[in-house]
Amino acid sequence: MTSFAFSTLAAAAAPDRLDPLMLFLEADIVVQAVMLGLVLASIWTWMIIVSFSARMAAVRRKCRKYEAEFWKTDDFDRFMSERGKRDIPSARIAMAAVGEWRRSTSGKAIDREGARQRIASTMESQVAQEADDLADRLNFLATVGSVAPFVGLFGTVWGIMNSFFQIGAQANSSLAVVAPGISEALFATAIGLFAAIPAVIAYNRFSHSVNSLEARLQRFADRFHSSLSRELELA
Amino acid sequence: MVGITLKRGEAIGLGVALALHAGLVAVLLMQPEFNAVLPPPPERMTVSLATDVGIEATAPDPVPVSRAATAPTLAPEPAPKMSENTPEQAELPLPQPAPRVQREPEPRTAARPQPRATSAPRPTPRRTAAPAARPAPAAKPAPARTAAAKPAVSTPKRSGGSRIGSDFLPGAGSSETSSETRTVAAAFGATEQAALSAAINRQLKPHWRAPQGVDADQLVTVLTWELNENGSLKGRPRVVSQSGINDSNRPQAELHAEQAIRAVQLAAPFNLPSEFYDKWRRIRDWRFDRRL
């Protein structure tokens, strides 16, 4: 209650502290729109950061577990029928390769070289598909990271334009007249940087982890492909 | 962001992000308790930069009152002629050196120039009290005794002694009771003068605005004005002189003088110590330059 009384007092008198709500409410409509958009962008950025890190950790753990079991299994057909349908990138790659293998070896005459190439390209496209799925939201992070400071700067320039106009209208250039407007305007840049900095950091980090996961999947696909082609020669 | 379907993990992430932002705003709103205590503004203090420096101390040994200058009291008997010096008188060693000591400083102090025209208006010879007070009574008994020894020589003539004795004007004050002959402590010295001019400048400064322009900072206007006892202006300030005028700042010269007069008029009534009114009754030759 005391804090509320204090905040109403502060609103009546000169603003002697940085109240974000006050800064937002006293700003120009354009600056308000900019601030609102930047706050939404920041919320969306953090949504992506939280959900992506959780998803990435789960995917990496599942892939590692699946691959370990995949190479250890004795009965390959039973393993594939039991666990092949799971929602794991490695499992989908293996399923795509096995499907192509079955289609290629179902005929009477087997074109070994053609089947090998088809299996390889199928697995490669599946790896690329998985990486694209993972990196789906990351372009938003890149956009926010590069554009949010400029959007905030736009709000600041607009707000400073306004406050200079007010100086001219009031014919009073004392700091007490100029300062609140500029402070409100700079708040837009602050929000822009607030949104942009985590977005840039998260984008770099996540694109690196997507790349490393893709490389891991690629290695898994190569290894599986070589064992499949060995099987193909024996058949 | 249009037409995006959220997966389950993303919905959770959105919730977490919203909660984090709301928490941040709440923290920013709750923070005033930390910086509510503003540091008190520093106290204003008045600094007077003394422009004048006294050459010597105004009153090294101040005395409250000083004796009035009076002639010595006359003896009831007529003074004997100075030529009738008896050998007894020569035996007295005390009175002889005393008048010499007393007489010697007289021409020196009289010839001494007035040390400070403003601070010490009454230059009085500074003498030591002891020799000045002593000789009159000391010299008196001697003739009395000689007169008693030779009553036949007494004449009906009145005393030939002058009322102006040898210790004429030993006192500088007006006191009838004190035997102090030194100068009364000066109440208005160089320090007070500097403080007074600083006070006048301090009151003029907010109202003084020198005109802008080419070489306008070289202009100097000298004003003289008079003040009433309540500090208000008596009449209009008068321009005594103006210097620093050249071709480029000639248009500003008149404005400069006008601004100076205006500064004085705006600054009045002056808030100055009334006990020194005779010092600031008439403020003469006050320089108005760029810095005042």
Of B21, B30, B31, the CB nearest to A39: B21
Q: What is the mean pLDDT of chain B?
A: 69
Q: Would you say residue A205 has pLDDT above 60?
A: yes
Alpha carbons A35 and A26: distance in angstroms, whole number: 12
Q: Is residue B226 part of a domain?
A: yes
Average pLDDT, chain A: 84
Peptide bond into B41 cis (omega under 30): no
Q: How confident is the model at residue A170 (pLDDT cuts 50, 70, 90)?
A: confident
Nearest CA in chain A to B8: A51
C-alpha distances (whole Å) from B180 to each of A94, B110, B130 are 124, 20, 10
Are B176 and B212 in the same domain?
Answer: no
- B97 is a domain residue: no
pLDDT for position A83: 72
- The C-alpha R_g of chain A, in whole angstroms, comes to 29
Percent composition of chain B: helix, strand, coil (DSSP 3-state, to 5)? 40, 10, 50
Question: What CATH number corresponds to the domain at position B255?
Answer: 3.30.1150
User: Which residue in B has a C-alpha nearest to residue A24's C-alpha?
Assistant: B25
pLDDT at B195: 84
**Whether A55 and B12 lie within 8 Å, measured CB to CB:** no
Q: What are the helix (H) ranges across chain A?
A: 2-12, 20-25, 29-72, 76-83, 89-105, 112-134, 138-170, 175-234
Q: Which chain B residues have a beta carbon less than 8 Å from that of A22?
A: none
Section A217-232 average pLDDT = 90
For residues A161 and B71, which has the higher predicted lDDT (pLDDT)? A161
Question: What is the phi/psi pair of residue A15, to 5°?
Answer: -70, 110
Per-residue pLDDT at A171: 73
Q: Do A51 and B25 touch (CB under 8 A)?
A: no
DSSP A5-20: HHHHHHHHS---S--H
Q: How far apart are CA A126 and CA B152, in angstroms?
A: 160
Name the band, by pLDDT with cuts 50, 70 and 90, for residue B149. very low
What pLDDT was estimated at residue A106?
Answer: 81
Domain ranges of chain A: 27-234
User: Of A77, A64, A108, whose CA–CA distance to A212 is shortest?
Assistant: A64
Per-residue pLDDT tens for A97-147? 888 888 888 877 778 888 889 999 999 999 999 999 888 889 999 999 999
How confident is the model at residue B15, as a pLDDT? 92
Asked if residue B259 and residue B172 are part of one domain, the reply reads no
Report the residue of B7, B18, B28 to disrupt the A interface, i.e. the one with the largest count of A CBs within 10 Å.
B28
User: In this predicted structure, which of A14-28, A40-54, B193-207 has the lowest mean pLDDT?
Assistant: A14-28
**pLDDT computed for residue A202 by the predictor:** 94
With an 8 Å Cβ cutoff, the interface of chain A facing chain B consists of: 3, 6-7, 10, 16-21, 39, 42-52, 54-55, 137
Instruction: Provide, as residue numbers in chain A, all residues whose Cβ is less than 8 Å from the Cβ of B12.
Output: 50-51, 54
Q: Is B232 exposed, middle or buried (0-12, 13-18, 19+ CB in 10 A)?
A: exposed
Per-residue pLDDT, averaged over B199-213, amounts to: 86
Q: Do B13 and A43 touch (CB under 8 A)?
A: no
Query: Are residues B29 and A19, on separate chains, in Cβ contact within 8 Å?
Result: yes
For B284, what's the count of Cα atoms within 13 Å in the CB-facing half-sphere? 5
Q: Is the pLDDT of residue B227 over 70?
A: yes
In a domain, B2, yes or no: no
Q: Provide mean pLDDT across the span A72-89.
A: 77
What are the backbone angles phi and psi of residue A87, rounded to the nearest 5°? -85, 65
> Where residue A194 falls among pLDDT bands split at 50, 70, 90?
very high
Q: How many CB atoms lie within 10 A of CB A13?
A: 8
Annotate B81-108 with three-state secondary structure. CCCCCCHHHHHCCCCCHHHHHHHCHHHH
pLDDT over threshold 90, residue B38 = no
DSSP state of B1: -
Q: What percent of chain B is predicted at pLDDT more than 70?
A: 48
Burial track B190-207 (b if 16+ CB lie within 10 A, e otherwise) = bbbbbbbbbbbbebbeeb
The secondary element (H helix, E strand) that includes residue B284 is strand B282-288
Q: What's chain B's Rg over C-alpha atoms?
A: 39
Tell me the chain B residues in contact with residue A45 when contact means C-beta distances shorter than 8 Å. Answer: 17
Q: Do B17 and A10 touch (CB under 8 A)?
A: no
Q: How far apart are CA B135 and CA A8, in angstroms?
A: 88
Let me know whether B247 and B209 are in one domain. Answer: yes
Q: For the range A226-231, what are the long-range contacts, defined as Cβ-Cβ under 8 Å and sequence gap of 24 or more?
A: A228/A97, A228/A101, A228/A116, A228/A119, A229/A116, A229/A119
Name chain A contacts of B17, Cβ cutoff 8 Å: 43-47, 49-50
B179 vs B186: CA distance, rounded Å: 19
A193 pLDDT tier (thresholds 50, 70, 90): very high
Query: What pLDDT does A198 receive?
Result: 94
Residues in chain B with CB shorter than 8 Å from the CB of A134 are: none
Reported confidence tier of residue B32, pLDDT bands at 50, 70, 90: low
Interface mutation vs chain B, best among A47, A52, A56, A197, most B CBs within 10 Å? A47
* Among B9, B25, B36, beta carbon nearest to A20: B25
Which pLDDT score is estimated for A16?
Answer: 55
Shared domain for B126 and B207, answered yes or no, is no
Do B172 and B223 share a structural domain?
no
**CB nearest A17 (choices: B7, B9, B35):** B35
Distance of CA B110 to the CA centre of its chain: 25
pLDDT score for B112: 47
| Domain membership of residue B250 as a residue range | 190-288
Q: Which of A8, A9, A19, A46 to mutate to test the interface with B (most CBs of B within 10 A)?
A: A46
> How many structural domains does chain B have?
2
Residue B39: inside a domain: no
Do B1 and A21 count as a contact with CB atoms less than 8 A apart? no
pLDDT at residue number A219: 93
ipTM value: 0.72
**Given an 8 Å threshold on Cβ–Cβ distance, is B17 in contact with A6?**
no
Mean pLDDT of B130-143: 43
Task: Examine the pLDDT at B143 and tell me if it is beyond 50.
Answer: no
Does B134 map to a domain? Answer: yes
Looking at the fold, whether B284 and B197 belong to one and the same domain comes out as yes
In B, minimum Cα distance to A140 occurs at B1
Give ∠ CA B80-B94-B153 in degrees, rounded to 5.
Answer: 15
Angle, helices A89-105 vs A175-234, to 10°: value is 30
Same-domain pairing of B173 and B244: no
Question: Residue B116 is encoded by which pair of tokens?
Answer: 């400070």
Confidence of residue A1 (pLDDT cuts 50, 70, 90): very low
Contact between A17 and B21 using a beta-carbon 8 Å cutoff: no
Angstrom distance (rounded) from CA A217 to CA B67: 117
Please check the confidence at residue B156 and state whether its pLDDT lies above 70: no
CA torsion angle for B136, B137, B140, B145 (degrees, to 10)?
A: -160
Q: Do A18 and B1 touch (CB under 8 A)?
A: no
Same domain as B283, residue B194: yes
Q: Is residue B66 part of a domain?
A: no
